[in-house]
Structure 1
Amino acid sequence: MRIHESSSPFRDGFTWFRITEPDTPRDLDPVFILHGGPGMAHDYVRNLDRLADLTGRTVVHYDQIGCGRSSHHPDAPADHWTPQLFVDEFHALREHLGIDTYHVLGQSWGGMLGAEIAVRRPQGLRGLMICNSPASMPLWTSEAARLRVDLPVATRYALDIHEADGTTDHPDYVAATQVFYERHVCRVVPTPQDFVDSEQQMLADPTVYHTMNGPNEFHVIGTLREWSVIDRLPSIDVPTLVVAGEFDEATPATWRPFVESIPDARSHVFRDASHCVHLEQPDEFLGVIAEHLAGRP
Structure 2
Amino acid sequence: MPLPFQRVLPEEVVFVPFGTRVPLASTKGTVAFRDYRTWYRVTGELGGDRPAVVAVHGGPGSTHDYLLPLARLADDGWPVVHYDQLGNGGSTHLPDADPAFWTVELFLEELDNLLTSLGIADNYVLFGQSWGGPLCAKHAAAGPAGLRGLVVANAPASYPIWLQEMARLRADLPRETQEALLRHEAAGTYDDREYLAAMRVFYDRHVCRARPWPRDFVSSYMEIYNDPTVYYAMNGPNEFHVIGSLKDFSVIDDLPAIDTPTLLLSGRYDEATPTVMRPYEEHVKGARWEIFENSAHLPHLEEPELFHEVLVDFLKGL
The alpha-carbon deviation at position 216 of structure 1 amounts to 2.3
1:180-220 per-residue CA deviation (whole Å, 9 max, x = no partner) reads 00000000122111111101111111000111112223332
Secondary structure of 2:191's aligned partner: coil
Secondary structure of 1:7's aligned partner: strand
Alignment map for 1:3-82 (pairs within 5 Å): 3-21=26-44, 27-54=49-76, 56-82=77-103
Which residue is equivalent to 1:209?
231
Q: Which amino acid aligns with 1:70?
A: S
Given that residues 34 and 106 in structure 1 are in contact (C-alpha distance below 8 angstroms), is that contact kept between their aligned partners in structure 2?
yes
Normalising by structure 2, we get a TM-score of 0.90
Q: Which amino acid aligns with 1:291?
A: D
Asked whether 1:94 is paired with 2:94, we answer no
1:27-70 per-residue CA deviation (whole Å, 9 max, x = no partner) reads 2111100011011100011111001112x111000000000110
Alignment map for 1:117-132 (pairs within 5 Å): 117-132=139-154
Q: Which amino acid aligns with 2:231?
A: Y
The alpha-carbon deviation at position 26 of structure 1 amounts to 5.7
For 2:172 and 2:96, locate their aligned partners in 1 and report how far apart those are by CA, in whole Å.
Answer: 39
Q: Which amino acid aligns with 2:85?
A: Q
Which residue is equivalent to 1:133?
155
Q: Which amino acid aligns with 1:289?
A: L
Alignment map for 1:252-271 (pairs within 5 Å): 252-271=274-293
Normalising by structure 1, we get a TM-score of 0.96
1:251-296 per-residue CA deviation (whole Å, 9 max, x = no partner) reads 0000100010011211010102100111101111111111011032
Given that residues 66 and 216 in structure 2 are in contact (C-alpha distance below 8 angstroms), is that contact kept between their aligned partners in structure 1?
yes
Secondary structure of 2:166's aligned partner: helix
Secondary structure of 1:241's aligned partner: strand
Asked whether 1:190 is paired with 2:215, we answer no
Q: Which amino acid aligns with 1:139?
A: I
Secondary structure of 2:269's aligned partner: coil
Which residue is equivalent to 1:220?
242
Secondary structure of 1:224's aligned partner: coil
Which residue is equivalent to 1:178?
200
The one of 115, 135, 138 aligned to 1:116:
138
Q: How many residues align?
A: 294
Which residue is equivalent to 2:310?
288
For 1:10 and 1:82, locate their aligned partners in 2 and report how far apart those are by CA, in whole Å.
Answer: 15
For 1:278 and 1:192, locate their aligned partners in 2 and report how far apart those are by CA, in whole Å.
Answer: 11
Aligned residues: CA RMSD: 1.5
Given that residues 83 and 116 in structure 1 are in contact (C-alpha distance below 8 angstroms), is that contact kept between their aligned partners in structure 2?
no
Q: Which amino acid aligns with 1:262?
A: V
Which residue is equivalent to 2:268?
246
The alpha-carbon deviation at position 165 of structure 1 amounts to 2.2
Given that residues 294 and 302 in structure 2 are in contact (C-alpha distance below 8 angstroms), is that contact kept between their aligned partners in structure 1?
no
For 2:158 and 2:60, locate their aligned partners in 1 and report how far apart those are by CA, in whole Å.
Answer: 15
Q: Specify every segment of 5 or more residues in structure 2 that has no aligned partner in the other structure, as ranges.
A: 1-22
The alpha-carbon deviation at position 225 of structure 1 amounts to 1.1
Secondary structure of 1:128's aligned partner: strand
Given that residues 20 and 49 in structure 1 are in contact (C-alpha distance below 8 angstroms), is that contact kept between their aligned partners in structure 2?
yes
The alpha-carbon deviation at position 117 of structure 1 amounts to 0.8
Given that residues 56 and 126 in structure 2 are in contact (C-alpha distance below 8 angstroms), is that contact kept between their aligned partners in structure 1?
yes
Secondary structure of 2:151's aligned partner: strand
Q: Specify every segment of 5 or more residues in structure 1 that has no aligned partner in the other structure, as ranges.
A: none
For 2:218 and 2:96, locate their aligned partners in 1 and report how far apart those are by CA, in whole Å.
Answer: 25
Given that residues 29 and 41 in structure 2 are in contact (C-alpha distance below 8 angstroms), is that contact kept between their aligned partners in structure 1?
yes
For 1:200 and 1:214, locate their aligned partners in 2 and report how far apart those are by CA, in whole Å.
Answer: 18
For 1:182 and 1:18, locate their aligned partners in 2 and report how far apart those are by CA, in whole Å.
Answer: 30
The alpha-carbon deviation at position 164 of structure 1 amounts to 2.1
Which residue is equivalent to 1:274?
296
4+ residue runs of structure 1 moved beyond 6 angstroms? none
Q: Which amino acid aligns with 1:97?
A: L
For 1:3 and 1:219, locate their aligned partners in 2 and report how far apart those are by CA, in whole Å.
Answer: 40
Change (3 A) 1:6 1:215: same
